[in-house]
Amino acid sequence: MSKQLKNKERRYNAIVDAGEKLLLERYADSVQMQDIAKEAGLGVATLFRYFPKKQTLIIAVADKILSTELDFYRAISQKQLTGIEKIEAVFQRANRLEHPELLKRSKFIDIFESNIDDFEEFQTAAADYFAIRNEISNIVSDIVEKGQADQTLPSGEGVTDEIMTMINNYNMFARKLALIKNIMALEKNPSPATQLKIMHDMYMSRLKNI
């Protein structure tokens, strides 16, 4: 790679990193492009050469965050584990209760996905993001297929859809509990950790007994 390309990549990464830091700390509407340029140590004009619109930078940050999740799924799929052990690892990954930085990223993704259809031509603009999501889904499908082959996951039509639904629900429930755990501490409900364990045990029992 030439020095010019290395410098271009370095500036791109510096902008995305700065954008991630500020966007995770504050709502997107309160973050200005000038703030991101300052955080990245670049001029505003330079920033706009890489990201003409804030929308494109927000999508780049979302790509970066979801790529980290993709790296996890790729790694877990390659480990010498049974199918059900890999699904167990996915559930454990979803536990955000004790990981504030992971929770910040999850909150950003929730807001991003809830508002993505407000972006101009979002299907095209966020094509890379959707490709990452699809690859994660494909990896889960592969994990299920191999788990069925090693007979630690149940066979039968619809099992992949059921497991994907479990993963999605568990992820959403874990994030919700993490967000409201301080409120729940003042109530008589079971603790967030207890509720998450109950859902975890229900799903794992379901998989072992289908």
Task: Encode pLDDT of 135-157 as tens digits.
Answer: 999 999 999 999 999 999 999 88
- DSSP letter for 191, please: P
CA dist., res. 23 & res. 32, Å (int): 10
Percentage of the chain modeled with pLDDT above 90: 69
Averaged pLDDT, 13-25: 95
Q: What is residue 154's three-state secondary structure?
A: coil
Residue 210 pLDDT greater than 70, yes or no: no
The domain spans of the chain are: 1-52, 54-209
**Structure tokens that stand for 158 in this block:** 């619809």
pTM: 0.89
The CATH class, in words, for 54-209 is mainly alpha
The CATH class, in words, for 1-52 is mainly alpha
Task: Encode pLDDT of 54-68 as tens digits.
Answer: 999 999 999 999 999
Angle at CA 180, nearest 5°, toward 175 and 183? 165
CA dist., res. 39 & res. 16, Å (int): 10
